[in-house]
C-alpha cells in the first residue's frame, strides 16, 4: 500500500485527505493519480466501493487554479450521485480554495445560477441540465482542462451518448479525460477510443465483477411470498439495508408496506419530486431511516458506508445492474451481504446473471429447506419479465398495482428542454433485456 504523500499530490490536498482519515491510497488511486497528473487520459475500472471518486478528484484538484473559470467537469448519471461527488470533492479540496457546483435536473435554476455567478472551478453535472446551462450560456466550457465520466459505461450507453457528444463538442480538444466504472464492457472500451487520446487503461478487477467481501445468496420463491421473506431478512440485517425493486410502483408499494409494518423505510425512484428524493437520501445517509427502497436510480455510485445488506426484491433487468446494486454494500473494504429474490418467472433472467458471478453464491432454498414448485416448466422459456417480474395473474399480498407493470398513464414525459421523452419500458417491467432488439439496454432516457 502506498501513502498519499508518494503520489505527487500537493500539501493542501494531502491535508484534505488526512482530515478525512484516509491513511493509505487504495489500488485504483495508487495506479491512476500519478498518470492523470502527467496529463494522460485514463480508463479506470475497479470494484464498487474501491475509491474511484478520490482517484479522479484528487488529481483534478491539483491541476486546477482558483478563480480561473470552470476547469474541471465531472458527469454522472444520477442527481444523487452528482451531489455525492460534489460533497466529496469539497471535503478533499477544503484547503485549496477551489469551488465546486452541482448542476442537475429537478432543482430550481436560480440556485444553480447563483452558485455559477459567484464563480466555480469544478462543475459536477448530470448531462441534461448541463446542456440547459450550455444553451442559455450560464456555463461555458472553454477553460475546461479536465473531464471525467463517472459510471462511464452508463454515460456512453445509448440513453446518454448524444448528450455526452454534444457536451464534449463544446469542450476544448486539449484536455485530460478519464472514464471510471466498476463495469467496463468491451464495447464501451472500444467506444472510449473515440473520446480519449491514447488512454492508459487500468482494469483492476475486470475478470471478477463480484465485489469482494459480499456474501451473496439467492432464494427462489413465489412473487407473493417475497414480502414475508423481506421482513425476515430485514429484521436480521446488520446495519442499514437497501431493497431494490424493478419498477417505480413496486418501489413505492414495498416502502409503504415496510412503513406500515413499522420499519424506518424511505423510497427513491425517478417519478418522485426532487425534494422528496433528497429528503429520502438525507434520512438514509444520516441513519434516521434504516431501509432505502429504490429503483436502479440508486444502483450506481451511491456510497452509504453503513449499508450491510442489499436485497434484490426483483432480479435486475440488466446483468451489470446486479453488480452495481450489490456493490452498495461492502464499501471501502467492509463486509456486506446481498440476497436476491428470484420469482418463478425470473429464473431465466437470474441464470443469465448467475453465470457471470465468479464467486460461490449461496442457494438459500437448499439452506432453508424451501421447495421450488414451478408449475409449468415451459414458463422458464417465457419471454421474461413481461408482467413486472410477477407471474401472470399473480397477485402479491396487499399489492394492487404491482403486477400491471406499466409505469402509469401518459407514456412519455416532457424533459427539461421541452422534448418528448421516450417512456421507459424497463421501469415498466416490459421485459426488454436488449438482446436482439433495437432498443438500448437501459430502455431510453427515463430509465429509473
Please report, for residues 243, 398, 420, the alpha-carbon distance to residue 402 in angstroms, rounded to integers and kept in the order given. Answer: 16, 10, 26
446 binds ligand ADP (CB under 6 A): no
- Identified binder of ligand ADP from the candidate list 51, 199, 316, 428, rule CB under 6 A: 51
- Identified binder of ligand ADP from the candidate list 7, 36, 48, 80, rule CB under 6 A: 48
At residue 216, the 3 state secondary structure works out as: strand
Of 306 and 413, the one with the shorter C-beta distance to ligand ADP is 306
Full 3-state SS string of 394-411: CCCCCCCCHHHCCCCCCC
Relative to beta strand 146-150, strand 307-312 is unpaired
| Binding to ligand ADP in span 317-336, by CB under 6 A | 331-332
What lies within 8 Å, CB to CB, of 439 at 6+ separation is 425, 432
| Binding to ligand ADP in span 173-202, by CB under 6 A | none
| Residue 203 interacts with which of Mg ion, ligand ADP, none, CB < 5 to 8 Å by class | none
Relative to beta strand 24-25, strand 2-3 is antiparallel
Residues 265-304, one symbol each (x = binds ligand ADP by CB under 6 A, - = not), give: --------------------------------------x-
Using Cβ positions, the residue closest to Mg ion within the complex turns out to be 301
203 binds ligand ADP (CB under 6 A): no
| Residue 309 interacts with which of ligand ADP, Mg ion, none, CB < 5 to 8 Å by class | none
| Residue 332 interacts with which of ligand ADP, Mg ion, none, CB < 5 to 8 Å by class | ligand ADP
- Identified binder of ligand ADP from the candidate list 32, 35, 53, 385, rule CB under 6 A: 53
Cα separation of 271 and 250, whole Å? Answer: 12
Residues 79, 125 contacting (CB under 8 angstroms): no
User: Per CB under 6 A, which region of 46-54, 232-240, 284-292, 428-436 contacts ligand ADP?
Assistant: 46-54
Applying CB under 5 A, the residues found at the interface with Mg ion are 52, 301
Residues 18-37, one symbol each (x = binds ligand ADP by CB under 6 A, - = not), give: ----x--xx--x--------
Cα separation of 80 and 144, whole Å? Answer: 23
Q: What is the DSSP string of 322-366?
A: HHHHHTTSSGGG--EEEEEEE-GGGHHHHHHHHTT--S--EEHHH
| Residue 48 interacts with which of ligand ADP, Mg ion, none, CB < 5 to 8 Å by class | ligand ADP
* Strand positions, DSSP E, 8-66: 24-25, 42-45
Radius of gyration for the chain, computed over Cα atoms and rounded to the nearest angstrom: 22
Residues that bind ligand ADP (CB under 6 A): 22, 25-26, 29, 46, 48-54, 303, 305, 331-332
Amino acid at each position: 500500500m502506498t501513502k498519499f504523500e508518494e503520489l505527487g499530490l500537493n500539501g493542501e490536498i494531502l491535508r484534505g485527505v488526512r482530515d478525512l482519515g484516509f491513511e493509505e491510497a487504495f489500488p485504483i488511486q495508487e495506479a491512476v493519480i500519478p498518470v492523470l497528473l502527467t496529463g494522460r487520459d485514463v480508463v479506470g475500472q475497479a470494484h464498487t466501493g474501491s475509491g474511484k471518486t478520490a482517484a479522479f478528484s484528487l488529481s483534478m484538484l491539483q491541476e486546477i487554479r482558483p478563480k480561473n473559470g470552470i476547469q474541471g467537469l465531472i458527469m454522472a448519471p444520477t442527481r444523487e450521485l452528482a451531489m455525492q461527488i460534489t460533497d466529496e470533492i469539497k471535503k478533499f479540496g477544503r484547503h485549496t480554495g477551489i469551488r465546486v457546483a452541482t448542476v442537475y435536473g429537478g432543482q430550481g435554476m436560480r440556485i444553480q445560477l447563483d452558485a455559477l455567478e459567484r464563480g466555480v472551478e469544478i462543475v459536477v453535472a448530470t448531462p441534461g441540465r448541463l446542456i440547459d446551462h450550455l444553451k442559455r450560456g450560464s456555463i461555458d466550457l472553454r477553460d475546461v482542462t479536465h473531464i471525467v465520466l463517472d459510471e462511464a459505461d452508463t454515460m456512453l450507453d445509448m440513453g446518454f451518448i448524444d448528450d455526452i457528444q454534444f457536451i464534449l463538442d463544446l469542450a476544448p480538444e486539449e484536455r485530460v479525460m478519464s472514464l471510471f466504472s466498476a463495469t467496463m464492457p468491451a464495447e464501451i472500451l472500444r467506444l472510449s477510443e473515440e473520446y480519449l487520446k491514447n488512454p492508459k487503461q487500468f482494469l483492476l478487477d475486470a475478470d471478477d465483477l463480484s465485489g469482494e467481501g459480499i456474501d451473496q445468496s439467492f432464494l427462489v420463491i413465489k412473487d407473493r411470498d417475497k414480502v414475508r421473506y423481506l421482513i425476515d431478512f430485514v429484521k436480521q440485517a446488520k446495519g442499514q439495508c437497501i431493497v431494490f425493486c424493478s419498477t417505480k410502483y413496486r418501489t413505492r408499494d414495498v416502502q409503504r408496506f415496510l412503513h406500515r409494518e413499522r420499519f424506518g423505510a424511505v423510497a427513491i425512484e425517478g417519478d418522485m419530486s426532487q425534494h422528496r428524493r433528497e429528503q429520502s437520501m438525507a434520512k438514509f445517509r444520516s441513519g434516521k431511516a434504516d431501509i432505502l427502497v429504490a429503483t436502479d436510480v440508486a444502483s450506481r455510485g451511491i456510497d452509504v458506508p453503513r449499508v450491510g445488506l442489499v436485497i434484490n426484491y426483483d432480479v435486475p433487468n440488466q446483468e451489470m445492474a446486479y453488480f452495481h446494486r450489490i456493490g452498495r454494500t461492502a464499501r471501502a473494504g467492509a463486509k456486506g451481504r446481498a440476497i436476491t429474490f428470484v420469482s418463478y418467472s425470473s429464473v431465466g433472467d437470474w441464470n443469465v446473471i448467475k453465470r457471470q458471478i465468479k464467486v460461490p453464491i449461496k442457494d438459500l432454498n437448499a439452506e432453508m429447506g424451501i421447495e421450488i414448485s414451478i408449475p409449468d416448466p415451459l414458463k422458464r422459456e417465457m419471454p421474461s419479465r413481461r408482467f413486472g417480474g410477477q407471474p401472470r395473474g399473480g397477485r402479491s399480498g396487499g399489492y394492487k398495482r404491482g403486477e400491471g407493470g406499466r409505469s402509469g398513464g401518459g407514456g412519455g414525459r416532457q424533459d427539461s428542454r421541452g422534448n418528448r421523452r421516450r417512456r421507459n419500458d424497463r421501469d415498466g417491467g416490459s421485459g426488454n433485456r436488449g438482446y436482439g432488439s433495437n432498443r438500448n439496454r437501459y430502455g431510453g432516457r427515463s430509465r429509473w
